[in-house]
């Protein structure tokens, strides 16, 4: 590995880590696209690498920050919920990985992009704008 690649990897990791700690995203939104763009990873390689990276730093260090904050603000994190979600997550991750391994790379990219687009659409509130616009088209006197 040469120096520019090493620096690029560290910068990508830093960006993903900051976004992960800040808003709870990073792996899928930062790591996957950048590994594909800068390192010509396949969609499968990038997603697998992202999952591997998230294991320790996000799970342990990120969680500890949120745990402390929530405890200090009298809104503690419920470990029962974590345990139940983890059970589903373990099985879901296992079966999701098996399914992903059977999906063609081009289709995998389309699924990934669709999920990112849908998420952005919802977070920006465009779904409500679109629905209101459609309602006005079919019922001009309302809203």
Among candidate residues 36, 34, 29, 32, the one with its CA nearest the CA of residue 48? 32
> The tokens of 110 are what?
């389309």
Q: Give the pLDDT of the chain (143 residues) as one tens digit per residue.
A: 899 999 988 888 888 877 777 766 766 788 889 899 999 998 889 888 888 887 777 678 778 888 999 999 999 988 898 888 888 888 888 888 888 889 898 998 898 888 889 888 888 999 899 889 988 888 877 65
Nearest-angstrom CA–CA distance, 95 and 6: 33
Q: What is the pTM of this model?
A: 0.61
């Amino acid at each position: 590995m040469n120096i520019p690649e090493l620096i690029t990897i560290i910068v990508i990791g830093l960006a993903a880590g900051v976004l992960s700690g800040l808003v709870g995203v990073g792996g899928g939104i930062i790591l996957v696209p950048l590994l594909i763009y800068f390192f010509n990873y396949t969609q499968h390689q990038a997603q697998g690498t992202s999952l591997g990276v998230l294991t320790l730093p996000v799970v342990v260090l990120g969680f500890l920050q949120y745990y402390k904050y929530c405890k200090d603000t009298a809104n503690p994190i419920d470990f029962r919920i974590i345990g139940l979600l983890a059970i589903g997550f373990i099985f879901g991750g296992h079966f999701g990985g098996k399914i992903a391994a059977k999906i063609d790379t081009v289709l995998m990219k389309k699924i990934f992009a669709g999920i990112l687009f849908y998420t952005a659409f919802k977070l920006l509130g465009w779904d409500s704008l679109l629905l209101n616009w459609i309602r006005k088209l079919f019922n001009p006197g309302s809203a």
